[in-house]
Structure 1
């Protein structure tokens, strides 16, 4: 009897502890994050999604601000339209101009803001905010974006703490975009090789077509001449046959 009571109490205590852990872990895991759609390779361009969950039971998210890194500025940022949201892309002057595709870039995107214009992120919901960005840096393994999430009750949650390698996740971590190693395709080498191969193939095909056409033309001429010779022979044979009958 005594042993059974102890087991029952231990089970209840364990269940309460597990439930408490789940309650505590829930809000901590539901933070603003960023993920690439496909792959975000160094030196290339990528489409990324900022995922914004609503952590409140009695308020809705009506504004999201994402600040771009200044140590690795991005010159090209395009936002996908989202129904019910107004998008504002702010730029700032660069202390050191960038060279991009043969052009000198003197300013880069510093912040993108989505403001509710009929839309919202209600309790128990999340929203994804897509961006096309580039050119991604070649000398970094990740990009850190600091974000601010505003609710309709005026509360502002600041997702600005940069995660440290080997340390526990901060309470309000900033979204981090991991960059993958660049491939030949990202720098155009493989594409150039493919184009060259394609051009060679086209050239060879053109040669084959020309040779085939020349061969066909030669054959046609031979057959034509042979036909003429046969025709002349037939006419001569007819004339001779007629003379023999007359004689």
Structure 2
């Protein structure tokens, strides 16, 4: 195989992988989701939960997020991680946390379009000991008054149009993790570090790609010069 053919095929493969990656990212970020970074959320313990909220309106930004905690979960404590430009309020009914609301200050909403998202981290507990998952119905309010109600439970393999975020609860390990405020708070801070690590990896891969591309161009130029010299000779 000639050098020219090799690099032509390499460019085609790289382009295909890039397109697939972008398409996959779009699909994965299509709905509001709930994730747990670090240690799993355990039954009877405190979980550090992160809501990932993508904007899905082309001409309006997201201005408010409301998360309703199930009444039968009887969660008595919740704490939010500050989000710059947003205020957080925790509602309780007696000793039970019922709702957490984040509201954007002017100019700090999740931008209009379909390329931006924001993460809202909080700790909650004690988590129910008799349930395997925690469904977090979430309302997403846009600047034009539109409300997306992410509250539909998933039914088998078919995903509803507006699925509610769900957190899977692990069995209690009995090691004491997740039962103290400091442990839950440190776990809630992990998404920021995870994002930084992801950014560093992306930069490293991007730099490596540029180096490989430069080497390819160098080899191609060398081959062209050698061919010209042979022709002149």
Listed one character per residue, the Cα deviations across residues 123-171 of structure 1 (whole Å, up to 9, x for unaligned) are 210000000111111111100111100110111011010112x240111
- Aligned equivalent of 1:83: 84
Larger RCO, structure (CA 8 Å, separation 6 or more): 2
1:171 paired residue number: 161
Distance apart, 1:186 and its partner CA: 3.4
Which whole-Å CA distance do the structure 2 matches of 1:184 and 1:89 have between them?
29
Count the aligned residue pairs.
153
Instruction: Report if the CA contact (8 A) 1:66-1:148 is conserved.
Output: yes
Match of 1:117 in 2: 105
What is the aligned partner in structure 1 of residue 20 from structure 2? none
**Which whole-Å CA distance do the structure 1 matches of 2:52 and 2:169 have between them?**
18
Distance in structure 2 (CA, Å) of the matches to 1:44 and 1:29: 28
Q: C-alpha deviations, 1:41-67, integer Å up to 9, x for none?
A: 111112110110001221100010000
Distance 2:60 2:66 in 1: 18
Which among 140, 145, 149 is matched to residue 149 of structure 1? Answer: 140
- Is the CA contact (8 Å cut-off) linking 2:135 and 2:165 kept in structure 1? yes
TM-score by length of 1: 0.58
- Deviation above 4 Å: which 4+ runs of structure 1? 25-29
Q: 1:33 to 1:187 in 2, by over 3 A?
A: closer
The answer on 1:131 being equivalent to 2:92 is: no
What's the TM-score once normalised by structure 2's chain length?
A: 0.61
User: What corresponds to 1:213 in structure 2?
Assistant: none
The C-alpha deviation readout for 1:216-241, integer Å capped at 9, x for no partner, is xxxxxxxxxxxxxxxxxxxxxxxxxx
Tell me: CA distance 1:174–1:155, structure 2 relative to 1, closer, same or farther (3 Å). Answer: same
* 2:47 matched residue in structure 1: 46
Per-residue deviation, residues 169-196 of structure 1 (Å, max 9, x unmatched): 11100110101111120389xxxxxxxx
| Cα pair 1:43 1:186 within 8 Å, conserved | no
Equivalent runs, 1:96-245 vs 2, <5 Å: 107-118=95-106, 119-122=108-111, 123=113, 124-164=115-155, 166-186=156-176
Matching residue of 1:99:
none
| Deviation for aligned residue 1:31 | 0.9
Taking a change above 3 Å as real, the CA distance of residues 60 and 186 of structure 1, as seen in their structure-2 partners, is: same
Matches of 2:143 and 2:92 in 1, distance apart? 27
Decide whether the 8 Å contact of 1:43 with 1:187 is kept in 2.
no
RMSD of equivalent CA atoms: 2.3
